[in-house]
């Protein structure tokens, strides 16, 4: 058991340097503008330059703690007055304090019945384990190595997804190869691929012989359902049940797990059905336009659609095609209470469909990107679980530094 100190003893508070700026007065720029729950904008100037911890001063997340209350911020950035700004004193490690804050329940420190608030005094009185600086450095290094790998996976996935998106846009939106042929430019694709692109655009501005069709021509739409919540035997099973809260980030793409799961009885006694792996899910009611790929068999609620390619069009092609028409889908929603994408909405959106051979070439080329994205997502989930397992044990001294390092080495 390590001795404890308060945040007042372990860290310097920099709140007096915060400057809020109204959205209407901000000038766009390269520097992050932080609020209570991370970056809310980018501005043309900064007030901090270094390595700091930002701790939410107000907001519902203080009570629910669904997301981290503390955030690490480094480099040049701006902070409004909804986040406390602290950094370590000489006998402490800033990253260690961040991880220690990630392991506590803030409930007893917050005030306010309507809007939860963590005052500067309450923050300062929080007690944290305070081992020697050497131990703090080691703990921060162990947990930081896991987070660094998770962040590397995230950035790799962003790059891979951007590559798949850029290729789709060049081939099927901007018609780059056809335009290059018309301009007499040299081929930038393999000869067998280059030959598949038409030599000119037609009167509609699309490559000759490509089809203009409604989007529903190339997809099959699957619907979801919700088992009765009043029947306990329908819930807490092993069948993942997707709702919009389970949507991944755009770069991660794949949904690996869901907040709620249903039983086989729940599946059999509801409108829910099993979605095969690599089904594209789109949220269609309330929060519309969230996209995900299923990483395995799962089901979903009735506020979403499962989209499968038809007539030979593959799932990665369909995912990118959906992203290309997403704004149009959102602009064509219906509903007096909630924005809703209906099945008919897909039949109102026109799209250009290339030859099936080209679409299948695209599918083949980007499949390796998405396979790598899935592996990275699965690895990050494993690393995240290990970090969450080690965090309280390291803070309490329950596990030794060496044993923790060995566990990290085993999964590296």
Contacts 24+ apart (CB under 8 A), 63-68: 63/107, 63/110, 63/116, 65/105, 65/106, 67/37, 68/102
Give phi and psi for 209, each to the nearest 5.
75, -5
Question: With contact defined as beta carbons under 8 Å apart, do 386 and 150 qualify?
Answer: no
Answer yes or no: do 282 and 329 share one domain.
yes
Closest CA to 281 of 260, 266, 302, 265: 302
Which phi and psi angles does 257 have, rounded to 5°?
A: -150, 165
Which three-class secondary structure string do you get for the chain?
CCCEEEHHHHEEECHHHCCCCCHHHCCCCCEEEEECCEEEEEECCCCEEEEEEEEECECCHHHHCCCCCEEEEEEEEEECCCEEEEEECCCCCHHHHHHHHCCCCCHHHCECCCCCECCHHHHHCCEEECCCHHHHHHHHHHHHHHHHHHHHHHHHHHHHHHHHHHHHHHHHHCCHHHHHHHCCCCCCCCHHHHCCCCCCECCCCCECCCEEEEHHHHEEEEECCCCCCCCHHHEEEEEEEECHHHCCCCCCCEECCCCEEECHHHHHCCCCCCECCCCEEEECECCCCCEEEECCCEEECCCEEEEEECCCCCHHHHHHHHHHHHHHHHHCCECCCCCECCHHHHHHCEEEECCHHHHHHHHHHHHHHHHHHHHHHHHHHHHHHHHHHHHHHHHHCCCCHHHHHHHHHHHC
- The values of phi and psi at residue 27, to 5°, are -105, 125
Least trusted range by pLDDT, from 10-24, 225-239, 331-345: 331-345
Are residues 43 and 120 located together in one domain of the fold?
A: yes
Those residues with Cβ within 8 angstroms of residue 391's Cβ, 6 or more apart along the chain or in another chain: 99, 102, 103, 143
Whether residues 125 and 137 fall in one domain:
no
278 has pLDDT over 70 = yes
DSSP lists the bridge partners of residue 298 as 275
Distances (CA, A) of 231 to 223, 225, 227, 264, 265: 22, 15, 8, 13, 10
Tell whether 202 and 221 lie within a shared domain. Answer: no
- Give pLDDT tens digits for 99-144: 999 999 999 999 987 889 999 999 999 999 999 999 999 999 999 9
Same domain for 290 and 344, yes or no, is: yes
* pLDDT tens-digit readout, 202-261: 999 999 999 999 999 999 999 999 999 999 999 999 999 999 999 998 778 999 999 999
Domain count, the chain: 3
Stretch 187-208: mean pLDDT, rounded?
95
In this structure, the answer to whether residues 243 and 220 fall within a common structural domain is yes
Pair (297, 411) in one structural domain: no
Claim to verify: residue 227 and residue 333 sit in the same structural domain: yes
Residue 276 has pLDDT above 90, yes or no: yes
pLDDT for 337: 66
Last residue of a domain, one of 99, 130, 161: 130
Cα dist. 171→190, 250, 357 in Å? 14, 21, 13
Same domain, 250 and 189: no
What is the model's pLDDT at position 32?
A: 97
| CATH code of 35's domain | 3.90.220.20
Give the model's pLDDT for residue 67. Answer: 87
* Cα atoms found within 13 Å of the Cα of residue 256, Cβ hemisphere only: 12
**336 pLDDT tier (thresholds 50, 70, 90):** low
Quote the percentage of the chain above a pLDDT of 90: 92
Q: What is the share, in percent, of the chain residues with pLDDT greater than 70?
A: 100
Least confident span in 38-42, 45-49, 328-332: 328-332
Structure confidence by residue, pLDDT tens digits, 148-166: 999 999 999 999 999 999 9
pLDDT digits (tens, 9 = 90+) for 297-320: 999 999 999 999 999 999 999 999
What are residue 54's DSSP bridge partners?
71, 85
Residue where a domain stops, chosen among 76, 96, 130: 130
CA distances to 8, 81, 288 from 252, rounded to whole Å, are 38, 31, 18
- Cα–Cα dist 122/259, whole Å: 32
State the pLDDT at residue 332: 85
Question: Given this model, what pLDDT does residue 113 score?
Answer: 78
Whether residue 124 is found in the same domain as residue 141: no
Range of the domain at 62: 4-130
- Are 99 and 221 found together in one domain? no
Q: Please check whether residues 70 and 160 belong to one and the same domain.
A: no
- Out of 349, 366, 398, a domain closes at 349
Average pLDDT value for the chain: 95
């Amino acid at each position: 058991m390590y001795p404890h100190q308060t945040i007042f003893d372990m860290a310097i508070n920099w709140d007096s340097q915060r400057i809020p700026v109204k959205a209407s007065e901000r000038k766009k720029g390269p520097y992050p503008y932080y609020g209570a729950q991370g970056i809310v904008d980018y501005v043309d100037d900064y007030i901090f330059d270094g390595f700091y911890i930002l701790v939410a001063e107000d907001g519902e997340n203080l009570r629910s703690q669904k997301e981290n209350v503390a955030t690490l911020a480094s480099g040049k950035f701006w902070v409004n007055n909804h986040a406390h700004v602290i950094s370590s004193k000489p006998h402490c490690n800033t990253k260690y304090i961040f991880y220690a804050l990630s392991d506590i329940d803030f409930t007893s420190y917050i005030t306010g019945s309507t809007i939860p608030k963590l005052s500067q005094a309450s923050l300062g009185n929080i007690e944290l384990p305070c081992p020697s600086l050497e131990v703090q450095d080691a703990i921060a290094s162990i947990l930081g190595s896991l987070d660094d790998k998770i962040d590397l996976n995230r950035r790799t996935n962003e790059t891979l997804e951007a590559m798949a998106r850029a290729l789709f846009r060049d081939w099927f939106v901007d018609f780059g190869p056809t335009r290059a042929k018309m301009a007499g430019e040299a081929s930038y694709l393999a000869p067998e691929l280059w030959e598949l692109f038409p030599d000119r655009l037609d009167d509609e501005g699309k490559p000759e012989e490509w089809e203009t069709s409604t989007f529903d021509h190339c997809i099959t739409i699957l619907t979801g359902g919700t088992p009765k919540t009043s029947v306990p035997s329908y819930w807490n099973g092993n069948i993942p049940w997707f709702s919009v809260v389970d949507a991944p980030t755009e770069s991660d793409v794949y949904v690996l797990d869901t907040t709620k799961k249903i039983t086989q009885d729940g599946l059999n006694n509801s409108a829910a059905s099993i979605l095969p792996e690599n089904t594209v899910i789109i949220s269609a009611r309330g929060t519309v336009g969230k996209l995900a790929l299923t990483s395995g068999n799962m089901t979903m609620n009735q506020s979403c659609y499962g989209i499968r390619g038809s007539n030979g069009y593959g799932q990665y092609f369909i995912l990118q095609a959906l992203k290309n028409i997403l704004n149009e889908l959102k602009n064509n929603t219906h509903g007096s209470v909630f924005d809703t994408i209906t099945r008919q909405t897909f039949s109102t959106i026109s799209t250009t469909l290339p030859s099936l051979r080209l679409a299948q070439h695209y599918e083949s080329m980007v499949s390796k990107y998405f396979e790598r994205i899935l592996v990275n997502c699965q690895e990050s989930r494993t690393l995240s679980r290990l970090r969450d397992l080690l965090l309280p044990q390291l803070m309490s001294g329950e596990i030794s530094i060496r044993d923790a390092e060995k566990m990290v080495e085993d999964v590296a």
